[in-house]
């Protein structure tokens, strides 16, 4: 089953940079979306997903199950390392 990983981030975000480094160190490939450049997409996610307010936010698209799971800073993890732990549980 193929899962697509997307990182929603913003320039100058220290947590975003740390999470990008950790993702690379763990060997994950992902698409990065700048929330300032794609504001409508980001706003739509924030409206649909309760508690998603901050970047970095990861989305894991699971095509076979036709669903997307979001892991968001401040909701699902406080430290970037915790985000990686949560991601591993889902993959």
Strands (E), 12-86: 31-34, 57-62, 67-72
Q: Compute φ and ψ for 14, nearest 5 degrees.
A: -60, -45
Rounded-to-integer distance, Cα 58 and Cα 27, Å: 15
Rounded-to-integer distance, Cα 26 and Cα 67, Å: 24
**pLDDT one-digit tens code per residue, 39-73:** 999 999 999 999 999 999 999 998 787 889 999 99
For residue 22, the tally of other CB atoms under 10 A from its CB is 15
**pLDDT one-digit tens code per residue, 5-39:** 999 999 999 999 999 999 999 999 999 999 999 99
């Amino acid at each position: 089953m193929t899962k697509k990983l997307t990182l929603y981030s913003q320039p100058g975000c220290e947590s975003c940079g740390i999470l990008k480094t950790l993702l690379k160190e763990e060997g994950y490939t992902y698409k990065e979306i700048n929330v300032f450049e794609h504001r409508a997409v980001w706003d739509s996610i924030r409206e649909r997903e309760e508690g998603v307010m901050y970047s970095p936010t990861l989305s894991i698209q699971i095509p076979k199950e036709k669903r997307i799971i979001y892991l968001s800073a401040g909701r699902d993890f406080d430290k970037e390392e915790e985000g990686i732990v949560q991601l591993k549980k889902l993959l």
